[in-house]
Structure 1
Amino acid sequence: MLNREERGRIIAGLKNIDCRAYQKQFIQDKSRRRIVLKSRQIGFSFICALEALVEALEKGRSQLFASASDRQSRIMIKYVRMFLTKYFDIAPLRASDETVVLANGAELIALPKNYYTVQGFNGSLYFDEFAWNRDAKKIWQVLVPSTSEVRGRITVLSTPYAKRGKFYDLWTDEDTKYSKYEIDIYKAIELGKPIGGCGTVEEYIQELKDDLKDPEFFPSAYECKFIDDKDSYIPLSLIEKVQKLDPDELYNQEIWLGIDIGRLHDATEITAVGENENGIKEVKFIISLYKETFAVQRKTISDLFKKYNVVKCYIDRSGLGINIYEDLQAKFRNRVIGIHFTQKNKEQMAKNLKRHIEEKSILLLKDREAALHYSAIKRIATQSGFKYDCERSKEVKHADKFWSLALALRPFSKFKKKMKTRRYSR
């Protein structure tokens, strides 16, 4: 397939690509089936794109990239084009954001995430972030047969999601024919991942946590830990069915705000809810303020009143929230309503939110971190009844996005008896 000059360029180019030990081990594995449970940001999309390109050049076999989002698939093609020009000095026959066609006829294709439109391809398959693909089972059924005729390879890689779904089943299958790799952030660092100029590994890990600004999501994002939602008050399987939206610019649309106040240990979470022409509630945006001063929080919330048509703002006035509530209530009067987080109020709000999701009368943002918050709440039996809370640990805090959404939905009760709202004046 390759002439001597082209092969020489590839060999020279590969020598100039800095691969870490775990990446080298992975591409040296010639198994036909491989599965990788991995941390985020450790270079597996990069190395898979390189491996796929080399196979396409050497064997003339097409390469198919199926990701949880169209954008992620196009990133693989972006890497392919970069390798061709920067390292191999080989011109493709044709190239776009979705497809690269080589002179030998092999194609590298970023497949659309819609399983209805991915049939008819043959080649080696790369499933990227497969645990997060909403239609993973259907995509699998449609695409895997495309490898058989050409003896293509199947590579499945992902950060973990819930303890269910096709990726989880593949990973936990004791009789699997797949070659398995598990690389969390700590192992990646041990095997050569740079720590971004930080002095110590501990400093780098803390920087990742500070950047992520979501302790609940860190174990899934970086430590290869699946999420156990079997005891969740609202399981991920329900949440996923209504996660359909991207953030909205809103223009002059009416919105209702829910704000759960935090300061040092928890973020202040702001959720905006609107209503579409069919009466379905929609989450328009979520703002997270992590370790921000109360002055910054007050200004951020006040700016939302100026920018958007805020009908009502429901704010947690318990504990830390009291001062911000009083300042905002003085400024925006009856548009700001304070809610005490009593056990009774939390139960009413939690039940109302769950009913909206069950009845699909609300559409949520396609936000994986928010989904983890929504599923983190558990219904816990106590001597005085039930409470709705998270299991507390370093990683799992208060599921603040859950409560900010529950607050925003407070005026839209799904129960016959309206939830009482008590207004507090200064």
Structure 2
Amino acid sequence: MTSTHRRETAKQKFLAGERISDIARALDVSANTIAAWKRRYGWEALDAAGRVKNAIADKLQSLLANDDNSPAHQAKIDRYLGYLERAERIRSQPLETSSLPDAPHSTRDESTPKKKRGRPKASEKNLIDADQTQALLDAFEEAIFDYQREWFDVRFKDGRIILKSRQIGATYYFALEALIIAITTGRNQIFVSASKKQAAQFRRNIIRFVKKALDIDLQGDPMRLILPDHEAGEVYLHFLGTQVSSVQGYSGDLYLDECAWVRKFEDIQEVASAMALQAVYRETYFTTPSTMDHDFYKFWTGATYNQDRAKDEQITINISHAALKEGQDCPDGYWRQIVTIEDAIRKGCTLFNLDKVKRKYSPARYAMLCLCQFIDYAASVFNFKLLHAALVEIAEKWKDVKPLEARPLAETECWLGYDPSGEGDDAAALVVIAPPNSQYKKYRVVEVIRMDDADYQQQFEQVELLLKRYNITYMGIDHQGEGSGVYQQVVSKLFPTAEGIRYDPEIKTQMIIKLQTLLKRGLIEIDNVYLDDVLPALLAIQRSGTRGGLPTYTAKRSADTGHADVAWALLHALQNAEFETLIELETESGSDEESLLFF
């Protein structure tokens, strides 16, 4: 049975009054697919037409039973016969060819004659015809959850801003949504991410989805799709990083993901939104929250809209979860929604064990990543924007790093910072840093490992693996409390010259100021892959005081963040940075700021 025949059979069974579950079993199709066909093709409206037809038939039957042979009566019979014929025609109408009746008009200029082109060969790469488009629509309907269907229902809003929980499938969904819009409207689709590598995730999702649904291997970057049954003929999918130079010169629907983590968001948003400036195109921004210091927060709250506007033209947007959980059109022209992990579960998401997630994250981390709450890091000793500026895409910046190889940096010198965990602690952490050399004049955070609930033996084994993976010339370890036993094991069995670090106010202050200086002068870079581990960890560190009134620095590891251990491990590695080296880097960078007198 062909797909079209199966849908027609399903429609007739539905119109005959059969239940969706029974139809699904009879045709060996999922109930979700039957429900999607019903919604897409308006079967309920056709069912209503059937009820109208039955009412007309009943009326006609009563007229025919009457022996009245007058011309007026015969005219009434003729009129109801016409009604019956029309109702039958409506009810038996053929299936629609488009599932997107609300789509904006085609982008093609109607004043321009259509180009005459031959039908592409079926073997041509990236060809998607009408039947394949329908198959993708069916697969898409089966793949999405209810909250994602809400996003699809508002796909033609001029702009959408969605604050969402981590790992609820937004990147996957929007990759598929963009594909569906591309092949049904002929509009180009543009994905902009914090890095080219991250943008490639959209491409991989599309390739896998089409492979599974059609057994077709899509190719190309940008990806050109051939649409032989659409007037556009072809459509392009672009996958871009956030380098300003890379996001200019394109036009199409825009998707910008993880906006609250993108560097220089205001600049990127200004350039990227110009891609969707034409009335036919749409903008979609979606992200997990970061900090209130990030430029995206102003965009989210409406503060960006209010800039340079007279007081009587400014707007107020209620950004509470209660106001936005079901989605809301806002006065700046954007549709906003907040989707927490709990919202997603309530709307059918089956990806999570909520109790497990809550055990994994501290309350503050859970609130940020899963309940979509921005964090105020004003009290942190590290500046969010400086940390963000230190993030790099290693494929573009570090040509000597080969992360998939057994020795990613070959024989390049590296330092290892280690913050052990004992029983009851939330995590241990290891951070590998490559210090400056003749080729690269900055400190580089090349690998970060967190070990949740790892015992001493597991931690010991991970240290051993890193010693084989990198040319480690220095190791700094927390040498107090639970760390003392681990330190002794490492010194005796793995790395005899490991330095034990005993915290006191002076040592902590030295470590903090050292990193602050590197950040301020742009002398440290962090692999963007470790953004979620490194930034929250460092931002959790705050200035406090000892019982004797001396200044020191603390982070409430288990209460406020599950990642502070990463910060301490990074600082342990940097403990090997010498004052003379920092002065040399300062001179080479050309900075005319004050000397590093605090060492």
TM bin, normalised by shorter chain, reads 0.7 to 0.9
Would the aligned equivalents of 2:259 and 2:285 in 1 still touch at CA under 8 Å? yes
Match of 1:52 among 178, 191, 210: 178
Match of 1:377 among 532, 538, 541: 541
Aligned to 1:106: 235
Q: CA deviation at 1:156?
A: 0.8
Which of structures 1 and 2 has the bigger CA Rg? 2
Q: Paired residues, what number?
A: 406
Question: Equivalents in 2 of 1:14, 1:126: separation in Å?
Answer: 20
Q: CA deviation at 1:245?
A: 6.0
Would the aligned equivalents of 2:263 and 2:389 in 1 still touch at CA under 8 Å? no
1:151-300 to structure 2, matched below 5 A, reads: 151-173=280-302, 174=317, 175-195=331-351, 201-203=354-356, 205-206=357-358, 209=360, 217-244=365-392, 246=394, 249-263=408-422, 264-275=424-435, 276-277=437-438, 279-300=441-462
Would the aligned equivalents of 2:425 and 2:558 in 1 still touch at CA under 8 Å? no
Counterparts in 2 of 1:154 and 1:313: CA distance versus 1, 3 Å:
same
Moved more, 135-144 or 180-189: 135-144
Secondary structure of the corresponding residue to residue 113 of structure 1:
coil
1:390-405 to structure 2, matched below 5 A, reads: 390-391=555-556, 394-397=559-562, 399-405=564-570
Q: CA deviation at 1:268?
A: 1.6
Q: Which amino acid aligns with 1:14?
A: L
Q: CA deviation at 1:137?
A: 2.0
Question: Equivalents in 1 of 2:494, 2:210: separation in Å?
Answer: 58
Question: Equivalents in 2 of 1:308, 1:350: separation in Å?
Answer: 25
Aligned to 2:145: 20
Larger helix share, 1 or 2: 2
Counterparts in 2 of 1:283 and 1:107: CA distance versus 1, 3 Å:
closer
Counterparts in 2 of 1:314 and 1:194: CA distance versus 1, 3 Å:
same
Moved more, 41-50 or 315-324: 41-50
Secondary structure of the corresponding residue to residue 453 of structure 2:
coil
Question: Equivalents in 2 of 1:244, 1:356: separation in Å?
Answer: 15
Would the aligned equivalents of 2:557 and 2:565 in 1 still touch at CA under 8 Å? no
Counterparts in 2 of 1:388 and 1:397: CA distance versus 1, 3 Å:
farther
Secondary structure of the corresponding residue to residue 240 of structure 1:
helix
Counterparts in 2 of 1:347 and 1:360: CA distance versus 1, 3 Å:
same
Counterparts in 2 of 1:243 and 1:64: CA distance versus 1, 3 Å:
closer
Would the aligned equivalents of 1:77 and 1:98 in 2 still touch at CA under 8 Å? no
Question: Equivalents in 2 of 1:111, 1:238: separation in Å?
Answer: 24
Q: CA deviation at 1:329?
A: 2.5
Aligned to 1:355: 517
Structure 1 residues not aligned, in runs of 5+: 419-426
Q: Deviations over 1:302-355 (max 9, x none)?
A: 444455433232211110011111222334675122121223322222222222
Q: Which amino acid aligns with 1:113?
A: T
Q: CA deviation at 1:154?
A: 0.9
Question: Equivalents in 1 of 2:559, 2:598: separation in Å?
Answer: 38
Larger strand share, 1 or 2: 1
Q: Deviations over 1:178-203 (max 9, x none)?
A: 1111111111011000045x5xx424
Question: Equivalents in 2 of 1:215, 1:273: separation in Å?
Answer: 30
Secondary structure of the corresponding residue to residue 144 of structure 1:
helix
Q: CA deviation at 1:22?
A: 0.8
Question: Equivalents in 1 of 2:487, 2:383: separation in Å?
Answer: 32
Percent of matched pairs sharing the same residue: 27
Q: CA deviation at 1:218?
A: 4.2
Question: Equivalents in 2 of 1:98, 1:139: separation in Å?
Answer: 20
Secondary structure of the corresponding residue to residue 335 of structure 1:
coil
Match of 1:67 among 193, 196, 199: 193
Question: Equivalents in 2 of 1:257, 1:76: separation in Å?
Answer: 34
Structure 2 residues not aligned, in runs of 5+: 1-95, 99-128, 228-232, 303-316, 318-330, 395-400, 580-595
Secondary structure of the corresponding residue to residue 120 of structure 1:
coil
Counterparts in 2 of 1:413 and 1:214: CA distance versus 1, 3 Å:
farther
Q: Which amino acid aligns with 1:120?
A: G
Counterparts in 2 of 1:126 and 1:292: CA distance versus 1, 3 Å:
same
Secondary structure of the corresponding residue to residue 161 of structure 1:
coil
Question: Equivalents in 2 of 1:262, 1:86: separation in Å?
Answer: 43
Aligned to 2:265: 136
CA RMSD of aligned residues (A): 3.0
Question: Equivalents in 1 of 2:466, 2:172: separation in Å?
Answer: 39
Q: Which amino acid aligns with 2:145?
A: R
Aligned to 1:40: 166
Q: Deviations over 1:21-76 (max 9, x none)?
A: 11111111232111100112212223323332333233222111112222332332
Question: Equivalents in 1 of 2:137, 2:146: separation in Å?
Answer: 15
Would the aligned equivalents of 1:274 and 1:281 in 2 still touch at CA under 8 Å? yes
Would the aligned equivalents of 2:427 and 2:563 in 1 still touch at CA under 8 Å? no
